[in-house]
Structure 1
Amino acid sequence: MKNTMEYNGYVGSVELSEEDGIFFGKVLGIRSLISYEGENYKELRDDFHTAVDDYLEMCKEEHIEPEKAYKGSFNIRISPELHKRLAIYAIEHQTTLNSYVAETLEKAVK
């Protein structure tokens, strides 16, 4: 089962409140809070689309740049020894550390 959905470049969560009998979610990967809900999948999806569209329209009206989810950079904390080994490996294989890590992560999620 997939617990996310995508629309217009944004990823939203899909959750269920058994107590209230509704589905709900929020847009992931940005600081702004964009939430939505529905009594079934179609209502949830439609409210997600409307919430994203409303957010983009509000940004346009207020002349602000909409936040982009998953910009392509993130920090990772590893041991100095692993950092050193990865850097040496990348140099030995005539690539950058960034390229090597990106390729490795790409393989991991395929």
Structure 2
Amino acid sequence: MKYLKYKGYTGSIEYSPEDNLMYGKVLGIKGLISYEGQTGKQLEEDFKEAVDTYLEDCKEENSKPEKPFKGSFNVRIPSSLHQQAALLAMETQTSLNSLVTEAIRFRISKEV
């Protein structure tokens, strides 16, 4: 899937055949920022305008904009897998975070 990118924000690209309309939302934040357009160019323009409006609103409200994909997330895994990963990290003298990062990076490199 391709994405729109602007000012550190990433947006999805969807299509509704019923409405003959492209639409999307900003990914990686809790808030909802959505946009739409009849063409790819209109979609991209509305995406950028939506991000700019969000940032302007945050500034006016003196609130900090959400940072997408902060680099921190909770993962629920079976305790036996957690144990194996923690022991492997200790044996290889690395952190559990580094081990998980390496595993995710490896998997993503196989998909790209």
Q: Same fold (TM over 0.5)?
A: yes
Distance in 2 between residues matched to 1:89 and 1:21, nearest whole Å: 52
Matched-pair identity in %? 52
TM-align CA RMSD: 0.9
SS of 2:4's equivalent in the other structure is strand
Matching of residue 90 in structure 1 with residue 75 in structure 2: no
Q: C-alpha displacement at 1:3, in angstroms?
A: 3.9
Distance in 1 between residues matched to 2:7 and 2:105, nearest whole Å: 23
Distance in 2 between residues matched to 1:87 and 1:31, nearest whole Å: 30
Matching of residue 33 in structure 1 with residue 32 in structure 2: yes
Deviates more, 1:45-54 or 1:27-36: 27-36
Deviation string, structure 1 residues 54-108 (Cα, Å, up to 9, x no partner) = 1001101111000011110111111111111100000000001111111111111
Distance in 2 between residues matched to 1:109 and 1:64, nearest whole Å: 34
Show structure 1 runs of 4+ deviating over 4 A.
none
Distance in 2 between residues matched to 1:50 and 1:31, nearest whole Å: 19
Give 1:64-83 correspondences, 5 Å limit. 64-83=63-82
TM-score (norm 1): 0.95
